[in-house]
Amino acid sequence: MKKWELSRLQELFEAIAAQEPLYIPTDVSGQPTFALWQPGMALTRELNTVRSAKDLFFPQVEELVKFKVEGKKIQVLDPQVQIRDQVVFGVRACDARSFDILDSVFLAEPADTYYRDRRAHTTVMTLACTHPEESCFCTSLGIDPQAPGGDVSCWIEGEALYLNANTPKGQALLSRLPLDEGEKPEADRSVFDRLPLKDLDLTRFGEKKLLDWFHSPKWGELSQSCLGCGTCTFVCPTCQCYDIRDFDTGHGVQRFRCWDSCMYSDFTMMAHGTNRPTQLERFRQRFMHKLVYYPADHGGQVGCVGCGRCLRKCPISMNIVKVARALGEEEV
Ligand code: SF4
Ligand code: SF4
């Protein structure tokens, strides 16, 4: 185990950033956000960022390809910039687990090369939680917020930052830093046992009753107030839907991929129209995907990591916990 004085955190960031671009959770316009570290940039005091670290692998907007048109000739240009090694510090255990879910989608063959290259070139330094929020329920999904994983796990205890490498990538990073040896004191875990959602069970929505869950009369009531704003999907670390759009530049075409939301009325729009014409159907899709479809294809693993972002951000206070509880009341 390695150790660094917390009062000299800026020096550690400087040492990492001297080697590779470093992203940390910091406050940007009052919002905790992962941003490229600049001298003097401090860690946010908030528990977690508004949007997760998935942006670093799966940006909200990215250019996929360009087509240059000259007369009858079309040239295909790859605009993908050279992906450089980078480090992200301060990823919480929930977001670190969300990378496993994103990997299962983007790295399944044929792999998404844009995502794969960013993942391969990023060293993830996680940060253990000591002061969870009431909306956190990662522990009910088997995630240990005190053992956050990644390439390097970090803990802040007292006046020190403790660091432990979990992978060769993490070992390589730590070996290049002037760290001391240290033994992390035992952390107080009792706060996690007092979380109001610690006993939530999201694993009971198995595929066996898929059609029963699908036809539940609860969807109407649950989705009634949903604004279709998509906030829950944009803040969610495990949501991975996107749209691909072409823009005519006058001498060619630029093709972009942008995050999309199953809560939007034009999501998966086809020539004949939309497959889910009502908000009830769109709302149901989001939660059936997290609770039923994804686990059915991935050994029972729920497509949620309990980060609590949708609990904190939905303007009508609807979220996966309310849905799971409402559906769970039924004998189906
Ligand atoms: S559930 Fe809430 S955050 Fe999600 S689309 Fe509906 S209103 Fe927006
Ligand atoms: S569904 Fe909600 S609690 Fe679960 S991972 Fe997504 S934003 Fe976090």
Q: Which residues are within 8 A (CB) of 278 and not within 5 positions of it... i.e. 6 or more apart?
A: none
Ligand 1 site-directed mutation target among 260, 283, 314, most atoms within 8 Å of CB: 314
The answer to whether 146 touches 168, Cβ cutoff 8 Å, is: no
- Report the separation in Å between the CA atom of 228 and the middle of ligand 1, taken as the mean of its atom positions: 5
The DSSP output letter for 270 is B
pLDDT at 241 over 70: yes
- 171: pLDDT confidence band, cut at 50, 70 and 90? very high
Q: 């303007």: which residue's tokens?
A: 315
- Report the separation in Å between the CA atom of 219 and the middle of ligand 1, taken as the mean of its atom positions: 14
Cα distance between residue 326 and residue 222, in whole Å: 8
The answer to whether 106 touches 58, Cβ cutoff 8 Å, is: yes
Measured in degrees and rounded to the nearest 5, phi and psi for residue 324 equal -60, -40
Q: How many C-alpha atoms does 241 have within 13 Å on its Cβ side? A: 18
Distances in Å between the Cα of 151 and the Cα atoms of 90, 160, 166, 297, 301 are: 12, 19, 5, 27, 22
Q: Token digits for 122? A: 């990023």
Q: Is the pTM for the entire model greater than 0.85? A: yes
Element (H, E) at 173: helix 168-175
- Report the separation in Å between the CA atom of 25 and the middle of ligand 2, taken as the mean of its atom positions: 19
- 27: pLDDT confidence band, cut at 50, 70 and 90? very high
Per residue in 106-163, pLDDT tens?
A: 999 999 999 999 999 999 999 999 999 999 999 999 999 999 999 999 999 999 999 9
Give the least confident one: 55-59, 66-70, 146-150, 220-224: 66-70
Q: Which residues are within 8 A (CB) of 61 and not within 5 positions of it... i.e. 6 or more apart?
A: 256, 257, 258, 259
The answer to whether 162 touches 3, Cβ cutoff 8 Å, is: yes
pLDDT at 212 over 70: yes
- 332: pLDDT confidence band, cut at 50, 70 and 90? very low
pLDDT value for 118: 95
The answer to whether the CB of 296 is under 6 A from ligand 1 is no
